[in-house]
């Protein structure tokens, strides 16, 4: 059964000084082929989660402030930052989960959020012995989340950690049961989900050993499911930064609209992340940004939702050009001429040059 999903967290590409920050996601080994731009899409519909879940949300527009969990989050963050983060936004809940709403009128071009780098969480916050582990930045950030979760109210990040989604609120395909994964077995998301879980298991083993040696209070009673939850939090919330990846508290409560022009910007000179409103908002209206031009496959794997009529969606085409084909070289030349990078061992088939992807968006090549 399909039901409305929580809008997710986005991030687009850092350059020196002011640049759009790209949300972390794994390397995409697919390639693209030109196609005619689709007709203008209808207004963006609610994102769709492919698994049902109970919710205390109040609809798309009006916020329901959760005073017990996050009512004091923004004042706490501003005290920690020593600067105002946002005079325009407040934390609430919508049909999509934790969200940010306009607390007063916003005009296009307003700087609605500035999060100083000193209140971002990055792998630099780990002990050198843990930071040197041969695991990726996602696993390193996950280790920080696990450490702060273990500390509970004694953690300096407790107000932030308390506002993060619980395991039952996470809907990435890595949390799906075998029966649920069978429903998408013919898609590339299936194999990518399996690969991600295998990678998590490998990194859990490496990181567990390091934590046993240097942070035994964190590794004690830690299960793989705890690590998987922490990794999924990072996968869906971290942004590319000069430190690899960073968690940006408050900014990561902003939900995704695939047609939005607003993105998270990072100013390396002034040392803050910023969002500029792309249109006017009335008080009480949910504020949205774009996480990037993401297909439903990426959205489902990283965030656990899809978007009907997603203009950035893709269709993967499976094919096989046998090496003994007398026209092999010519076929490869024609494919590469049309913006294609031949994929290797991607998707279901395991032979070279076995697939390409048709992107539905207009900016293809």
Query: What's the rounded Cα separation, in Å, for the pair 137 and 6?
Result: 25
User: What does the pLDDT profile of the chain (365 residues) look like in tens digits?
Assistant: 333 333 333 333 333 345 567 666 443 323 332 333 444 444 444 454 443 333 333 334 444 445 456 778 999 999 999 999 999 999 998 887 889 999 999 999 999 999 999 999 999 988 888 888 899 999 999 999 999 999 999 999 999 999 999 999 999 999 999 999 999 998 889 999 999 999 999 999 999 999 999 999 999 999 999 999 999 999 999 998 888 889 999 999 999 998 999 999 999 999 999 999 999 999 999 999 999 999 999 999 999 888 888 888 887 776 677 888 898 888 878 777 765 555 443 333 333 445 566 666 544 44
Structure tokens at 289: 């940004």
Is residue 155 in some structural domain?
A: yes
Angle at 195 between CA 190 and CA 199, to 5 degrees: 150
Q: Which residue has the tokens 């499976």?
A: 318
The total number of structural domains that make up the chain:
1
The CATH number assigned to the domain holding 141 equals: 3.90.1410.10
Residue 231 counted as domain residue: yes
Question: Locate tokens 């986005």: which residue?
Answer: 10
Q: Are 103 and 89 in contact (CB under 8 A)?
A: yes
On whether residue 158 sits in a domain, the answer given is: yes
* Residue 182 resides in a domain: yes
Domain that holds residue 102: 3-27+41-302
Domain-located, residue 226: yes
Q: What are phi and psi of 112, to 5 degrees?
A: -95, -10
Q: Is residue 23 part of a domain?
A: yes
- Alpha-helical runs (H) found in 118-248: 128-131, 137-151, 158-161, 178-182, 188-214, 216-219, 224-237
pTM of the full structure: 0.75
CA 344/CA 194 separation, integer angstroms:
17
C-alpha 362/C-alpha 99 separation (Å) is: 30
Domain membership of residue 318 (yes or no) is: no
**What six digits make up the tokens of 257?**
């609209």
**36 within a domain of the structure (yes/no):** no
């Amino acid at each position: 059964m399909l039901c409305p999903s929580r809008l997710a967290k986005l991030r687009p590409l850092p350059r020196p000084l002011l640049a759009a920050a790209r949300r972390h996601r794994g390397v995409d080994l697919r390639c693209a082929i030109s196609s005619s731009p689709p007709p203008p899409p209808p207004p963006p519909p609610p994102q769709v989660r492919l698994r049902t879940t109970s919710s205390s949300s109040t609809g798309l527009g009006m916020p329901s402030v959760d005073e017990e969990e996050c009512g004091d989050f923004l004042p706490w963050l501003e005290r920690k930052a020593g600067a105002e983060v946002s005079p325009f936004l407040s934390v609430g809940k919508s049909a999509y989960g934790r969200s940010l709403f306009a607390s007063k009128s916003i005009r296009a071009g307003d700087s609605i959020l500035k999060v100083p780098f000193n209140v971002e969480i990055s792998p630099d916050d780990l002990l050198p012995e843990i930071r040197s582990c041969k695991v990726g930045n996602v696993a390193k950030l996950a280790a920080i989340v696990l450490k702060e979760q273990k500390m509970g109210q004694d953690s300096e990040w407790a107000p932030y950690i308390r506002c993060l989604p619980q395991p039952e609120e996470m809907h990435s395909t890595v949390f799906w049961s075998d029966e649920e994964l069978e429903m998408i077995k013919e898609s590339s998301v299936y194999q990518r989900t399996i690969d991600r879980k295998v990678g998590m298991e490998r990194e859990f083993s490496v990181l567990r050993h390091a934590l046993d040696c240097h942070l035994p209070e964190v590794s004690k009673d830690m299960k793989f499911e705890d690590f998987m939850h922490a990794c999924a939090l990072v996968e869906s919330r971290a942004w590319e930064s000069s430190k690899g990846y960073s968690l940006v508290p408050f900014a990561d409560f902003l939900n995704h609209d695939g047609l939005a022009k607003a993105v998270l910007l990072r100013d390396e000179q002034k040392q803050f992340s910023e969002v500029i409103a792309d249109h006017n908002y009335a008080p009480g209206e949910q504020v949205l940004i774009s996480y990037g031009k993401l297909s439903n496959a990426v959205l489902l794997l990283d965030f656990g939702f899809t978007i009907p009529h997603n203009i950035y969606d893709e269709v993967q085409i499976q094919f096989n050009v046998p090496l003994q084909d007398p026209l092999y070289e010519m076929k490869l030349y024609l494919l590469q001429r049309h913006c294609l990078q031949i994929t290797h061992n991607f998707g279901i088939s395991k032979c070279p040059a076995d697939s390409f992807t048709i992107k539905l968006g207009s900016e293809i090549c």
